[in-house]
Amino acid sequence: MSAVTSSSPIATSLALLGVHLFLGLMIFAHGFRKFFRGGKIAGTARWFESIGVRPGLPNALMAASTEVGAGVLLTVGLLTPLASAGLMSLMIVAIATVHRKNGFFIFNKGEGIEYTLGVAVVALASGTLGAGNFSLDHLWHPVTWSVTTNFVVTLVLGVGGAMAQVAAFYRPSRAS
């Protein structure tokens, strides 16, 4: 699924590696924290309930599992468009459920969409370009899709997954 071929310059693959390591390790850490730190899954479930994502427990498990899974896949560069779509979907759900009412800037009270939108856009770019030559996608070439196919797969699954999640489970109180 790597759209960047073996003839790509080393600099391009190193840049993609940097993006994938950052995105993968960052989102993995979020999932790991949900499972093992702070309030753990129970605390995440309570918070989800408080923002209108119901039922909280299965959604907390789904979010944490997606974060850990997408994080691992992005870090090693495997199934990159699918992992990027998962990350993009997480960020769009975060925008829809928490951040959109707080404006653009992250320093706004309640945090705006700036960070989550930025991560979603970078996830779309990483899914579109693939993981580069320093990845399991390149090493194993399970499937090689075109840049256009990568873009469509990442965008449709990322936005579609988020829309399905919000439609199925987001039930904010009238005061929200």
**pLDDT tens column, 9-66:** 899 999 999 999 999 999 999 999 999 999 999 999 999 999 999 999 999 999 999 9
- Beta-bridged to residue 53, according to DSSP, are 170
Report in angstroms the alpha-carbon separations of 174 from 51, 52, 156, 171: 11, 10, 30, 9
pTM: 0.91
Segment 73-77 mean pLDDT: 97
> Do the beta carbons of residue 74 and residue 81 sit within 8 Å?
no
- Rounded to whole angstroms, how far apart are CA atoms 154 and 1? 11
Residue-range domain boundaries for the chain: 10-169
Any idea what DSSP says for residue 101? G
Residue with tokens 């399905």: 164
Please write the tens of the pLDDT for every residue from 111-168: 999 999 999 999 999 999 999 999 999 998 766 789 999 999 999 999 999 999 999 9
Tokens of 58: 């299965």
Question: Which letter does DSSP use for residue 7 in this model?
Answer: T
C-alpha torsion 170→171→175→176, nearest 10:
0
